[in-house]
Amino acid sequence: MKAYLTRRYLFSASHRLHCVEMSDAENKAVYGKCNNPHGHGHNYSVEVTVAGRVDPRTGMVCNLVDLDSFVQEKILERFDHQNLNTLAEFQATVPTTENLCVEVFDILERDFHHAEIEKVRIEETMLNSFEYAGGREIRY
């Protein structure tokens, strides 16, 4: 039996959407107000969904202490109150929330070994959210 656990985390960060391979006019046309040279910020909501067998002894897919401490150390401390444009992960990649979602998923997939990482969902605003499942189909 495969079960799923989704946990939500919050952090704040800023970014400027700007592609160095495009002209200023192209960047403005593609990214609009998000291309502001001074950047802008978001209060992000990150949902991490893990999957696995329910442990018959604990009754859990994953110990929340393990998940929370990993996300705190590897995700929140890395991205909270940062200008995403200045981070190594985004030196060659535009720090869109889509790319942030992929980065968070990749960190979890690479280093969290207490459960299978099913997907990551990041809500940027009340109107925008993004999901990534590492090439697997996202099912609803």
Residue of 40, 73, 81, 113 with catalytic role: 81
Please give, one letter per residue, the 3-state secondary structure of 64-107: HHHHHHHHHHHHHHHHCCEEHHHCHHHCCCCCCHHHHHHHHHHH
For 117, phi then psi, to 5°, come to -80, 115
Locate 27 and state its tokens: 């960047």
**Annotation says 62 is catalytic:** no
Residue of 34, 47, 89, 98 with catalytic role: 34
**Annotation says 101 is catalytic:** no
Angle at 74 between CA 84 and CA 86, to 5 degrees: 20
**Annotation says 116 is catalytic:** no
Q: Which residues are catalytic?
A: 34, 81, 124
